Structure 1
Amino acid sequence: MEQRRRILVVCEGETEHAYFTGLRESDRREIHPFLPERAKRPQREKVVDHARKAKSRAEYSQVWAVFDADGHDVRRLCEQAEQDGVGPAVSNPTFEVWLLLHHRTTVSGRSAQAVGEELKKAVPHWRKGNGTQFAHFAPGLTEACARAKRYPPYSNPSTAVWKLMGDLGIEA
């Protein structure tokens, strides 16, 4: 008997959580977005730690940590997450790079503010946080995967969310 895949996605912020909740609702995947707690400051270590603890409980076939690099070097954090069986889906500077790649072939912004402004021009109805609607991004999902692969890991801008999508069976 084949075990059903259950994928936990631990999200750093409300934007990520809203996106993955919308993805789950749009195609009924066994994906479980989780937002540990709301905080103003970056909480990437907390997100990875929560994902690591969830992985140790074996309730999920795969656990991912989705967080922003915010311009910092997060290689060691990502390497440690992978060693612990957690998939790091880091975006630099922010998750909005991933969202923008659904609509544009490239991202020129290198700060969170600049990427947010680019995204707002591409998707005028987009709202950060819980206002993020997956329907605004669904049509460009496979294109976003292909575009994201072109950016070197950890560069600014870049996103590794395409790896998570591959684990979900969504690829370019």
Structure 2
Amino acid sequence: MARRPGLRETTFDRRQGSRATKRKVLVVCEGETEFSYFEGLTESDLPDVDVVLRPEKSRKGPQKDRVIAHAREARSKAAYSAVWAVFDADGENVRGLCEEAETAEINTAVSNPTFEVWLILHLRDRVKARTAAELQRELKKLLPQWSKGAGTKFHHFAKGLPDACKRARQYPDYQLPSTQVWRLMADICQSPQSTS
């Protein structure tokens, strides 16, 4: 069995269509689970948008500040239609960090406590778990072939994406559990209700 290459920067460039100007959206994400999910978007039908994916892979554990710093640095070096920082709140109050990011024109897509909240909402109406370990167990029961990190495959969740967006909107921001990833997906897909 071939080894999966390490995390790398990826561009999702939809080649169809002849639109003169494509939107270029940068997504800086915290972990391999998030990276694997967004990497799988290459198989989906995105509108005319290039999604540039950059993992924050410098160390294990929470990297909220590093994700924001990485996004800010990337924004200063290239022109993007939007820049998104995707990270876990890990049960902490990250409202101030998100407000600081927005001042720097960095959008945030926070999941509390972890990204698995977003994944579960593809498969079920409500999230029961409150801790990272409970979320992983809940998700594994719903989708036995799932595993954290590289075992997160977008095609396992793609069918439930519209439901996940609708369900995630029902959770107040920063609540435990909650996720704002629907805002990023709406931006990528240019939904009329993009980030409100």
Q: TM-score range by the shorter chain?
A: over 0.9
Of the three residues 118, 122, 146, the one matched with 1:102 is 122
- Aligned-partner residue type, residue 33 of structure 2: T
Of the three residues 147, 161, 184, the one matched with 1:164 is 184
What is the TM-score when the length of structure 1 is the normalising length? 0.94
1:142 aligned partner: 162
1:1-172 map, 5 Å: 2-27=20-45, 29-169=49-189
What's the % identity of the aligned pairs?
54
CA distance in 2, matches of 1:44, 1:30: 24
CA distance in 2, matches of 1:170, 1:129: 27
Structure 1 residue 103 displacement after superposition: 0.1
SS of 2:70's partner is: helix
Instruction: Please say if residues 24 and 31 of structure 1, whose CA atoms lie closer than 8 Å, have aligned partners that are also in contact.
Output: no
Structure 1 residue 2 displacement after superposition: 4.9
Identify the structure with the greater helix proportion: 1
Structure 1 residue 81 displacement after superposition: 0.7
Report the RMSD for the aligned CA atoms in angstroms: 1.6
What is the TM-score when the length of structure 2 is the normalising length? 0.83
CA distance in 2, matches of 1:96, 1:39: 20
SS of 2:87's partner is: strand
Structure 1 residue 87 displacement after superposition: 0.7
- Aligned-partner residue type, residue 41 of structure 2: L
Structure 1 residue 144 displacement after superposition: 0.1
Q: Which runs of 5+ in 2 are unaligned?
A: 1-18
Which aligned segments of 4 or more residues in structure 1 are displaced greater than 4 angstroms? none
Instruction: Flag the structure with larger Rg.
Output: 2
